[in-house]
Amino acid sequence: MTENLTRTAASAAIEDTAWRYVLGTIVTSVAVDSAVQAMQVAHAAVTACGVGADGHLRVDLRPDRVELSLQTHALGGLTGTDLDLSRRITEAVATLAVSTAGVTTHDGRRSVQMLEIAIDAMDIAAIRPFWKAVMGYADEPGRDGPTDAVVDPAWQGPAIWFQQMGEPRPQRNRIHFDITVPHEEAEGRLQAALDAGGVLISDAAARSFWILADAEGNEICICTWQDRE
C-alpha cells in the first residue's frame, strides 16, 4: 500500500470508476447545487478518509462542484492507499444523493483536468531558482534536483517544469501550456480545439501528447498518462 504505482497500474485500477488519473493524482468531480451542499460533500469525503485525509486528500470546493484529488503527498505519487480512499469517498458521497464524475457529463460540464506550465531552457539549473523564488514555489516531494519541476506548496497554481533545449530557438515559444486530461477525453478535446481555429503542430508523441497552436502560433500540449512508462 505504500509503493508508488505505475501510471498504467493506477489508471487501470480506476478505469471502471468515476475517478481519473492525471499527473500522478487521481481526481473526481461532484456536481452540487449550492455551497452548503458542497460543504456536505467535502465533509463526507474527509470523514471517509479519516486520518488518511491529511496525507492524501485535497478538496477544491465551489458552489457548483467539488473536485477531490488523492495522492500520497509524502511520495508525490499514487499508492494503494489512495485507491482505497477513493472507494471510500465514492461510497460516502453516494449517500448524499450526488455522485462522482471523471469525464465530461451529459450536462456539458468539463471533465477533471490539471494544468502545467513548461519553460524551454538552455540551462535549466540556472533559471529554475528564479522561477521557484518568483512564484513562491517549492520542490516536489522527493524531487529536488537542479532540473526538476517546481510546484505550488498550497497546490493552487499549476506546476512548472523545464524542457531542455539543444540550441537557442528565438523564434519559438519559450513557454507553453500543458493541459492534462483523462485519456479518453484527449481526442475530443483535440477536435474541439481544431474546430475552434487551432492548428495541429505534431501528433508524433500521441498518445502521450499532441502539440497544438492558436492562429498566431502560441502553443499548448494536450497530454495524457498513456505511453509514458
pLDDT tens for 118-130 read 998 889 999 899 9
Which SS3 state, helix, strand or coil, does residue 208 take? coil
Chain position carrying cell 509503493: 3
Residue 117: what pLDDT? 92
Distance CA 169, CA 167 (A): 6
Domain with CATH 3.30.1360.20 in the chain: 7-101
Chain position carrying cell 505505475: 6
Number of helices followed by number of strands (H, E) in the chain: 6, 13
pLDDT at 218 over 90: no
Backbone torsions φ then ψ of 120, nearest 5 degrees = -80, 135
Residue 106: what pLDDT? 61
Which SS3 state, helix, strand or coil, does residue 187 take? helix
Whether 219 contacts 178, CB under 8 Å: no
Domain with CATH 3.10.180.10 in the chain: 114-223
| pTM summary value | 0.82
pLDDT at 183 over 90: yes
Our CA dihedral for 198, 203, 208, 211, rounded to 10 degrees, sits at -30
Chain position carrying cell 500521441: 206
pLDDT at 45 over 90: yes
Identify the CA nearest to 89 among candidates 48, 142, 146: 48
pLDDT at 164 over 70: yes
Residue 158: what pLDDT? 93
Residue 105: what pLDDT? 62
Distance CA 125, CA 128 (A): 5
Q: What is the CATH number of domain 7-101?
A: 3.30.1360.20
Distance CA 22, CA 180 (A): 6
Distance CA 135, CA 151 (A): 9
- Looking at residues 66-87, what average pLDDT do you find? 94
Query: Which superfamily does 114-223 belong to?
Result: 2,3-Dihydroxybiphenyl 1,2-Dioxygenase, domain 1 (3.10.180.10)
